[in-house]
């Protein structure tokens, strides 16, 4: 459902609990115990400043004073909280804030330690995330130079602490200012991603791909350029004199309905040579806790202990729509002399998962098989939830993932241009049954992988993230990168670089292959617990050709991107697995007004242009191309927004239903994209505030486990019955034909059977068979599938472009229930793309973006805290006919 507004700067307290998970150590005894592990959190209140000697200091002198900072956080959010910059999302603030990414920043705090901590055998400062080029100083001694935002840094500080007044400083260096001279000095450059429109780095010397930092910070075609810095994940001091549990892996060696065979791998880090006992506990989904294993070991240094265990008749974890998501918890304890020194707890779901690739008559399959079931992957690509990673709360992230489940999705692709999501993302995916295709953080361009130090840094990053995330049952694939293979092979850079310097071009590609075909593949094999690795997306596992329909996964952007084909072109592309495709739309006017204020709006007004990131401001031209091609010219800006949403919803529905109807040739459909990093125009189905666009409502229909696909191509309609159920289903298929005035012209019903896990063609009809001589501009057909226990599914077929149809007034009528929470909506004639809007009220209809047939009534529950009178006053109902009556030549201002 539509969600509540994201606070502009959510408190970072939700990160405090992550420190334990990220460090993998849970203190077994009270803080200060001599042989237990103690954790002192160093988050919360810090101070920060722009370095006074920085080149940006003269123009931004107020920022050189010490100001309060929040850790975890970012410099942009700290500057805004201190009233030193405007809201980065409001108006057109972006251009005026580029200096932040060119500056150097300093963070500091002081802390005390107790005597027991001071004299512990081991003291380590743990930085779970520093963004990015940072020197860390403790009591005026440099203890760390960090260069990777995605790594956890553990620094021994024994003997460097004092009881009172320890001073911790973190100095961040601008990645642009640091790297630009080195990139400019290269005789021949490697390809970057998005050029900066602000002059902070030349177009031929982009720096983003040379630093291990979120790529989207440098700008993308759906988000601004904010090259931020900061202590973006928790900081802690960990101390122990006994032994610490460094890692707990739950390796699933074999899982079926009879038995799960697991190996618990416990890595301990002892402070001294001693005899240790490792004890393992299991808490089943029903809450029963039992000891399931114990081992003893003599250890003087880091040691891994394997404890095999079995679960008889396990409750297995399934993707959404295929079964439940029971979760088992395992807790390891390390003991010496009968005393517990440390505990670590991990949760997992028991399942088997396979990326199946078998040769067949169509090429080679690409499908995920979970617990022996070939699963059609239904979902979307997820991007970061904000430009500033610490800002969204765990609850906000969970609500977006809940929306994915509510729309019958079972997979998200966590895209490689952002960051590895926090544990709360994967915890929610585990609980909601959302499989995760996890990219490594390479979003595009070309990497300097010819540098062994760069590759080693990436391997350390990958090992950190695999060890953190590998117990999550939701993760079903690790993918090397996003679109880098395609960029090299098909976008021209290889040809250009080879012509300029063939030896360097070979060095670049050989290094790339070493990283993505060997190094990352090997570390996933070592650390991933049996989860498959895929080198790039799209790819055919590094075959000669990538992005092909016959094998591997595919990105398809010839609709929307060049050459901007009509979205009916989707019907001509039948891949093995579609991992990217999309159409853009604007968010609601309420969301637009949140950053645009009350000023008049038009497609070329400055604030609208600033929040349209596609093709350097030409995104609205592309949107108008798609709107006018199918629907005609909108009357004004509000109708432009509405029709952009209708176009997006219609086009993606067509593609997704085609993919599902092509089963088993196609076994996945992940549209671009689920969510937003800020409030603006994008390909998302849920905007930055968590509000559903029409596409998200429609996804609930076209991703329903049982659905009908009525797809018209070249004058012929094919009706396919879709079922993700593992058992056969029986129901009825009703065909009706109407004229635009609401007169029924044909009504036929037949019994149907839906085989399990299938797409079965029920009928194929030429236009002549459906129209029977009727005017195609005044006639439409509806196909309704009714199966007991499943929501009804409908496909509506129109025989002419919408712009060529004289849409009648649908004659919509609505009535409120006595309690003011249920709305009954009735149409006299066809009402296409009906949208209920409640202005600035937080009111959520149970359904929206719906099509009503003549004489049909829908009962919609309205969720929210608004009073009945407020709902009645605020309600506005828009249908397709409203947006195109009496069109003008261009959209006017509001």
pLDDT tens digits, one per residue of 269-283: 999 999 999 999 999
> pLDDT tens for residues 334-382?
999 999 999 999 999 999 999 999 999 999 999 999 999 999 999 999 9
Residues 719 and 752: their CA atoms lie apart, in Å, by 12
Nearest to 669 by CA among 553, 557, 572: 553
DSSP helix/strand/coil, 273: coil
The tokens describing 123, both together, are: 């003291």
- Written in H, E and C, the secondary structure of 588-599 is CHHHHHHHHCCC
DSSP helix/strand/coil, 311: strand
How many Cβ atoms sit within 10 Å of the Cβ of residue 254? 12
Residues with Cβ within 8 Å of 157's Cβ and at least 6 positions away in sequence, in order, are 123, 124, 125, 138, 143, 237
Residues with Cβ within 8 Å of 535's Cβ and at least 6 positions away in sequence, in order, are 479, 480, 481, 485, 516, 517, 520, 521, 541, 542
| Residue owning tokens 């993700």 | 724
How far apart, in Å, do the first and last CA atoms of the chain sit? 28
- To the nearest 10°, report the CA torsion of 215, 217, 218, 224: 130
- What ranges in 709-783 are assigned the alpha helix state H? 767-771
The tokens describing 371, both together, are: 């617990």
Segments in the chain below pLDDT 70: 1-35, 616-617, 885-894
Nearest to 209 by CA among 469, 499, 482: 482
DSSP 456-522: HHHHHHHHHHHHHHTT-TTEEEEE--BSHHHHHHHSSHHHHHHHH-HHHHHHHHHHHHIIIIIIHHH
Residues 122 and 137: their CA atoms lie apart, in Å, by 19
Contact 230, 73 (CB under 8 A): yes
* Averaged confidence pLDDT in the chain: 94
Q: Domain spans of the chain?
A: 12-236
DSSP helix/strand/coil, 638: helix
**Superfamily classification of domain 12-236:** Galactose-binding domain-like (2.60.120.260)
Residues 49 and 277: their CA atoms lie apart, in Å, by 48
pLDDT of residue 22: 38
Residues 668 and 367: their CA atoms lie apart, in Å, by 7
Contact 855, 742 (CB under 8 A): yes
- What ranges in 544-636 are assigned the alpha helix state H? 589-596, 606-610, 619-630
The tokens describing 563, both together, are: 């050459």
Contact 798, 807 (CB under 8 A): no
Residues 331 and 358: their CA atoms lie apart, in Å, by 39
Contact 160, 140 (CB under 8 A): no
CA distances from 163 to 104, 167, 729, 744, 754 (A): 30, 11, 70, 85, 72
Question: What sign has the CA pseudo-torsion 87, 619, 597, 61?
Answer: positive
Per the rule left: phi > 0, alpha: psi between -120 and 50, beta: everything else, 542 is left
Nearest to 317 by CA among 398, 427, 433: 433
Question: What sign has the CA pseudo-torsion 63, 68, 71, 73?
Answer: negative
Contact 831, 879 (CB under 8 A): yes
Nearest to 540 by CA among 572, 517, 511: 517
DSSP helix/strand/coil, 749: strand
pTM of this structure: 0.95
pLDDT of residue 885: 53
């Amino acid at each position: 459902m539509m969600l509540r507004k994201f606070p502009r700067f959510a408190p970072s307290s939700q990160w405090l609990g992550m420190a334990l998970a990220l460090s993998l150590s849970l203190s077994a005894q009270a803080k200060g115990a001599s042989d237990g592990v103690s954790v002192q959190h160093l988050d919360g209140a810090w101070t920060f400043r722009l370095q006074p000697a920085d080149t940006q200091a003269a123009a931004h002198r107020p920022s050189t004073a010490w100001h309060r900072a929040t850790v975890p956080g970012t410099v942009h959010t700290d500057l805004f909280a201190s009233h030193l910059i405007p809201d980065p999302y409001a108006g057109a603030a972006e251009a005026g804030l580029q200096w932040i990414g060119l500056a150097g920043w300093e963070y500091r705090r002081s802390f005390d330690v107790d005597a027991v901590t001071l004299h512990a055998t081991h003291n380590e400062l743990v930085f779970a995330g520093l963004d990015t080029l940072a020197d860390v100083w403790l009591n005026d001694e440099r203890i760390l130079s960090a260069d990777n935002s995605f790594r956890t840094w553990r620094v021994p500080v024994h003997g460097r602490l004092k009881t009172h007044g320890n001073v911790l400083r973190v100095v961040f260096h601008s990645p642009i200012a640091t790297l630009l001279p080195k990139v400019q000095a290269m005789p021949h450059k490697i390809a970057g991603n998005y050029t900066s429109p602000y002059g902070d780095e030349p177009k031929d010397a982009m720096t983003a791909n040379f630093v291990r930092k979120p790529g989207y910070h440098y700008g993308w075609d759906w988000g601004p350029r904010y090259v931020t810095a900061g202590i973006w994940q928790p900081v802690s001091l960990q101390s122990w004199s006994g032994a610490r549990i460094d890692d707990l892996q739950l390796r699933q060696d074999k899982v079926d309905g009879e038995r799960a065979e697991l190996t618990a791998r416990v890595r301990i880090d002892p402070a001294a040579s001693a005899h240790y006992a490792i004890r393992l506990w299991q808490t089943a989904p029903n809450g029963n806790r039992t000891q399931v294993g114990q081992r003893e070991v003599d250890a003087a240094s880091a040691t891994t202990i394997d404890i095999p265990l079995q679960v008889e008749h396990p409750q297995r974890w399934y993707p959404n729509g295929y079964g439940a998501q029971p979760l088992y918890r395992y807790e390891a304890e390390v003991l010496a002399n009968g005393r517990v020194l440390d505990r670590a707890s991990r949760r997992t779901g028991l399942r088997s998962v396979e990326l199946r690739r078998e040769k067949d008559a169509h090429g080679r399959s690409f499908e995920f098989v979970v617990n022996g079931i070939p699963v059609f992957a239904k979902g979307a690509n997820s991007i970061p939830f904000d430009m500033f990673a610490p800002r969204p709360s765990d609850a906000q992230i969970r609500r977006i993932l809940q929306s994915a489940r509510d729309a019958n999705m079972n997979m998200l692709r966590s895209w490689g241009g952002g960051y590895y999501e926090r544990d709360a993302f994967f915890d929610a995916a585990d609980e909601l049954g959302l499989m995760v295709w996890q990219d490594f953080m390479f979003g595009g361009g070309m990497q300097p992988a010819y540098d062994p130090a760069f590759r080693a840094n990436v391997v350390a990053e990958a090992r950190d993230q695999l060890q953190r995330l590998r117990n999550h049952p939701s993760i079903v694939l690790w993918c090397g990168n996003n679109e880098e293979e395609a960029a090299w092979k098909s976008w021209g850079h290889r040809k250009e670089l080879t012509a300029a310097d063939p030896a360097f071009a070979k060095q670049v590609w050989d290094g790339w292959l070493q990283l993505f075909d060997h190094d990352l593949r090997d570390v996933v094999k070592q650390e991933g617990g049996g989860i498959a690795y895929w080198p790039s997306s799209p790819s055919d596992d590094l075959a000669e050709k990538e992005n092909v329909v016959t094998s591997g996964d595919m990105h398809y952007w010839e609709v929307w991107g060049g050459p901007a084909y009509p979205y009916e072109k989707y019907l001509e592309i039948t891949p093995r697995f579609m991992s990217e495709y999309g159409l853009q739309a604007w968010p609601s006017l309420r969301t637009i007004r949140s950053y645009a204020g009350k000023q008049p709006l038009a497609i070329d007004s400055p604030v609208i242009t600033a929040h349209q990131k596609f093709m350097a401001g030409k995104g609205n031209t592309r949107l108008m191309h798609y709107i006018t091609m199918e629907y005609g010219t909108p009357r004004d800006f509000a109708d432009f927004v509405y029709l952009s949403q209708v176009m997006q919803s219609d086009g993606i529905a067509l593609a997704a239903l085609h993919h599902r109807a092509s089963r088993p040739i196609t076994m996945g459909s992940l549209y671009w994209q689920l969510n937003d990093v800020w409030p603006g125009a994008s390909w998302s189905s849920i905007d930055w505030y968590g509000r559903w666009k029409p596409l998200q409502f429609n996804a609930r229909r076209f991703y329903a486990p049982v659905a009908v696909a009525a797809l018209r191509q070249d004058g012929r309609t094919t009706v396919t019955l879709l079922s993700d159920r593992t058992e056969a289903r029986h129901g009825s298929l009703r065909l009706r034909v109407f004229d635009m005035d609401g007169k029924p012209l044909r009504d036929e019903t037949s019994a149907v059977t839906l085989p399990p896990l299938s797409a079965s063609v029920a009928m194929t009809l030429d236009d002549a068979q459906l129209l029977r001589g009727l005017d195609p501009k005044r006639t439409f057909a509806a196909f309704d599938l009714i199966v007991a226990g499943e929501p009804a599914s409908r496909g509506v077929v129109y025989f002419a472009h919408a712009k060529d149809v004289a849409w009648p007034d649908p004659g919509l009528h609505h009535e409120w229930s006595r309690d003011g929470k249920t709305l009954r909506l009735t149409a006299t004639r066809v009402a296409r793309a009906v949208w209920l809007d409640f202005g600035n009220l937080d009111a959520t209809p149970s359904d929206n973006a719906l099509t009503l047939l003549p004489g049909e009534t829908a009962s919609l529950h309205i969720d929210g805290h608004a009073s009945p009178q407020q709902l009645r006053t605020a309600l506005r109902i828009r249908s397709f006919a409203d947006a195109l009556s009496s069109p003008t030549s261009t959209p006017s201002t509001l």
